[in-house]
């Protein structure tokens, strides 16, 4: 079989672009420290309300300015939907869903994670400025999706 010279050149160029693209993404991920959020654990979504720590959602003071916020994302509310921490607090959000896929994005921070039934999701954010930081569900989850939000109040 004979391949035209132009066709051969285009095939080589297309192959090179593919390889360069993949290498570029790899280097970018390494240099920028980009990583895909991975599940912090597994959980039976049907038993969420009886499985620690989700049997007692809310804020825990871990000492030294560190906090853990255990938050359930369910159709269609976050529980709790407000936490209050002092300025300088570092808060790790531990999230899980008993029903469908939800999202969690916290404005003014880079905390952004999906909340998938069966998985525990974790993101950490530090709050150096006083104010209110809104978080919203950014994964369409049905009729009441737009009502799913909450906030961190930093004083």
Q: How many CB atoms lie under 10 A from the CB of residue 155?
A: 11
Piece in contact with ligand CUA (CB under 6 A), picked from 35-43, 54-62, 82-90, 136-144: 136-144
Query: How many Å apart are CA 58 and CA 137, to the nearest integer?
Result: 18
- Burial class from Cβ neighbours inside 10 Å (0-12, 13-18, 19+) for residue 137 reads buried
C-alpha separations of 97 from 35, 53, 63, 68, 85 in Å: 22, 13, 27, 17, 24
Piece in contact with ligand CUA (CB under 6 A), picked from 22-30, 40-48, 86-94, 137-145: 137-145
Out of 83, 91, 137, 154, the only residue in the binding site for ligand CUA (CB under 6 A) is 137
Task: Return the residues of window 63-102 that contact ligand CUA according to CB under 6 A.
Answer: 76, 102
Q: How far is the CB of 111 from ligand CUA (least distance, A)?
A: 16
Q: How many CB atoms lie under 10 A from the CB of residue 154?
A: 20
Q: How far is the CB of 145 from ligand CUA (least distance, A)?
A: 4
Longest dimension (CA), the chain: 74
Tokens of 21: 């693209």
Does the protein bind ligand CUA through residue 148 (CB under 6 A)?
Answer: yes
Binding pattern to ligand CUA, positions 3-42, x when CB under 6 A? ----------------------------------------
β-strands 149-154, 131-136: how paired? antiparallel
Q: How far is the CB of 12 from ligand CUA (least distance, A)?
A: 46
Q: Which is nearer to ligand CUA, 104 or 127 (CB)?
A: 104
Site for ligand CUA, rule CB under 6 A: 76, 102, 137, 139-141, 145, 148
């Amino acid at each position: 079989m004979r391949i035209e010279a132009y066709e051969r050149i285009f095939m080589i160029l297309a192959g090179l672009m593919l390889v360069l693209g993949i290498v570029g993404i790899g280097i970018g991920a390494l240099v920028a420290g980009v990583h895909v959020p991975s599940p912090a654990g597994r959980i039976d979504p049907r038993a969420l309300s009886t499985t620690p720590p989700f049997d007692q959602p809310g804020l825990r003071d871990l000492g030294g300015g560190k906090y853990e916020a255990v938050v359930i994302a369910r159709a269609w509310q976050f529980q709790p939907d407000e936490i209050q921490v002092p300025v300088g607090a570092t808060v790790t959000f531990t999230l899980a869903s008993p029903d469908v896929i939800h999202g969690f994005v916290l404005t003014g921070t880079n905390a952004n994670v999906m909340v998938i039934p069966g998985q525990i999701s974790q993101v950490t954010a530090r709050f150096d400025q006083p104010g209110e930081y809104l978080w919203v569900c950014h994964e369409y989850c049905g009729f009441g999706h737009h009502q799913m939000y909450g906030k961190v109040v930093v004083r």
